[in-house]
A and B are shown apart, each in its own frame.
Chain A
Amino acid sequence: MKIVEINNLTVQYPDVKALDDVSLVVNQGDFLGIIGPNGAGKSTLFASMLGLNTKYKGKIKFFDKDIRKSKNYLKELGYVPQKPIFEKNFPVTVTDVVRMGLRKESDENKIDEILQQLWIHELRNRRIGELSGGQQQRVFIAKALVNNPKILILDEPVTGIDQQSIDLFYSILRELNSKQKITIIWSSHDLDAVNQLANHVACLNRTLFFHGESEKFFSDDKLVKQYSEASMQEHMHHH
């Protein structure tokens, strides 16, 4: 079953064309890794899919419905942003933050359940600003998951996080996808991680230059090399 269908998506900012004619389909149960260097347009793609950027050309459909026409799809979606921004002394506990993600107040015991699942239950009464990056990230995943979403979207979720937390985080993602059948769309610039976790890969660098099963991508040395060179160039370009 098609969950997301993107047709000819183009986003033109005043200075740059961030996305150029991107088309992509995500099916139920996919674990899609979107790889691309800094500035490739990954966050722009997500912003458009989430309704945060409405200035795009082309069409984005969730569950076969144009997102310009209906915002209902947001109910089925959990989103973990690249860098959640908040004041360091904002007076909310871990439980408070997860509760924000809850649509019905009546589902309060769902909070405890999800905190346990993500190994942050003992942190529940601590203020969010006091936690480490890895712990905060798990709180934001808990917030994204507390509504039982069908799709989870994560924008470069491991930036600035220690290796131990990353390993735990990856095992959580794997379990969500395989056991709870949550469709995951995840952007990263870590090729190895994508190789280990994802079952589909999309290579983005303003245009989409590969989309398919990850085995196809990673078994094709030419593709991998092409991608790495493009990212290297991009990297040098940026410095």
Chain B
Amino acid sequence: MTAQQPGVQADDDLVYRRICTLLEPLNQKGVKLHRDIDLVADLEVDSVSVLDIVMDIEDYYDISIPVNTISETKTIGQLVDAIHAIKGQQS
């Protein structure tokens, strides 16, 4: 729907912010979040919780993110990029 190229930066930022908001309640050690944070190693978020967060993202943006894609991402930044790529394809 929206023109893709100019939207990328701002949109990317929104996806990032949404993920951080969803991660906050799971961030028990109070780690400062940024794109290079590893979900499992740094945040100690378990794999099922990551899938649950992704489910919220899917419903918010009305997209489907395959489990295969999620298991290939380790950091917040990789997750943001993957979601962004799928948003581009499916909208």
Q: Do A and B come from one complex?
A: no
Give the A-binding residues of B (Cβ under 8 A). Answer: none
